[in-house]
């Protein structure tokens, strides 16, 4: 498990392109036959992926966790980005189709990822610390709450699919979902915002051969990252997080921190961006 520590806003402004990418961008998450995990100091969120092949894969138990098993003091959200597959826990088995989401609460000791009959399941996961146990639950692609937002004239008309949130599948602190766009729209989270009470991680997917220009940093000193398919961006609480693609794409968003109120944002007027 790789550890990620983050610089201050002032230090971030001094980073070269390569240093910025090494610090805030994670690639290579989806490795066939392996579980890949990154432990961040963003509210101690862990981001990772599991790509089973012939044998099931379990969550890692690394010394960085400081516990005897992965979910001893954690919860996890899992989104299947591939073909149908199965997630097994010590007490249940969950079949997940494409874009189905599973929440597993604190205390589940044995968690394993397995392929379905067609193979090629690809599981993306986000984990946050938890101090209370909530029931494990599945959100099917067709059943998630979808909130349209944005304006086609500003190329930002999009649908926000809320999966793990206070009005749906409940958790201790994890909030998770994904966003997709209407034809002709490419801007996400524009106008931008920050939220100092919690931090966020994006995973861009279904990017194909396009790229997304992801904007980050303080509103008055923005930086950008060129992001490709299935790369994740780590967003500290002080940073904006928005982007525009050269073509169609989706992205998974996940947050952890002091509250779960989706609308708890500090809006940044476009006129203030530099």
CATH at residue 15: 2.60.120.10
pLDDT for the residue 62: 84
H or E segment and range at residue 12: helix 9-12
Closest of 18, 6, 21, 90 to residue 228, by C-alpha: 21
Cα 208 to Cα 68: distance, rounded to the nearest angstrom: 39
**Which one has a higher pLDDT value, 119 or 223?**
223
76 burial (CB, 10 Å; 0-12 / 13-18 / 19+) is buried
Number of domains comprising the chain: 1
- Given the structure tokens 């909030």, which residue do they identify? 175
pLDDT for the residue 12: 95
Question: How large a percentage of the chain has pLDDT more than 90?
Answer: 82
pLDDT for the residue 91: 78
Closest of 245, 230, 240, 234 to residue 266, by C-alpha: 240
pLDDT for the residue 260: 75
Q: Is the pLDDT of residue 180 over 80?
A: yes
Q: Is the pLDDT of residue 261 over 80?
A: no
pLDDT for the residue 51: 97
pLDDT in tens, 136-155: 999 999 887 788 899 999 99
Closest of 129, 162, 116 to residue 143, by C-alpha: 162
Which domain does 117 fall in, by range? 2-272
pLDDT for the residue 272: 92
pLDDT for the residue 150: 94
Cα 212 to Cα 204: distance, rounded to the nearest angstrom: 8
pLDDT for the residue 118: 79
pLDDT for the residue 184: 94
**Which one has a higher pLDDT value, 197 or 71?**
71
Closest of 193, 162, 180, 151 to residue 245, by C-alpha: 180
pLDDT for the residue 240: 96
Q: Is the pLDDT of residue 49 over 90?
A: yes
**Which one has a higher pLDDT value, 144 or 29?**
29
Neighbours of 167 (CB within 10 A): 9
């Amino acid at each position: 498990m790789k550890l990620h520590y983050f610089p201050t806003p002032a230090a971030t402004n001094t980073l070269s392109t390569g240093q910025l990418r090494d610090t805030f961008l994670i690639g290579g998450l989806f490795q066939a036959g392996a579980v890949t995990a990154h432990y961040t100091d963003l509210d101690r969120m862990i981001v990772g992926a599991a790509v089973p092949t012939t044998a099931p894969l379990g969550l890692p138990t690394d010394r960085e966790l400081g516990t005897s098993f992965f979910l001893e003091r954690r919860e996890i959200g899992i989104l299947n980005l591939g073909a149908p597959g199965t997630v097994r826990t010590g007490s249940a088995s969950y079949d997940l189709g494409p874009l189905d989401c599973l929440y597993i609460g604190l205390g589940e000791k044995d968690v394993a990822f397995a392929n379905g009959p067609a193979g090629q399941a690809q599981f993306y996961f986000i984990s946050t610390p938890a101090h209370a146990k909530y029931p494990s639950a599945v959100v099917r692609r067709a059943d998630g709450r979808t909130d349209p937002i944005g304006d086609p004239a500003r190329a930002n008309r999009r649908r926000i699919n809320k999966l793990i949130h206070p009005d749906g599948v409940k958790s201790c602190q994890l909030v998770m979902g994904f966003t997709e766009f209407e034809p002709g729209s490419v801007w996400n989270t524009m106008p931008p915002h920050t939220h100092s009470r919690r931090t966020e991680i994006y995973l861009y997917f279904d990017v194909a051969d396009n790229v997304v220009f992801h904007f980050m940093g303080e509103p008055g000193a923005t930086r950008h990252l060129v992001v490709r398919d299935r790369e994740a961006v780590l967003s500290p609480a002080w940073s904006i997080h928005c982007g525009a693609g050269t073509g169609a794409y989706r992205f998974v968003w996940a947050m952890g921190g002091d509250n779960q109120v989706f609308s708890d944002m500090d809006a940044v007027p476009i006129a203030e961006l530099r």
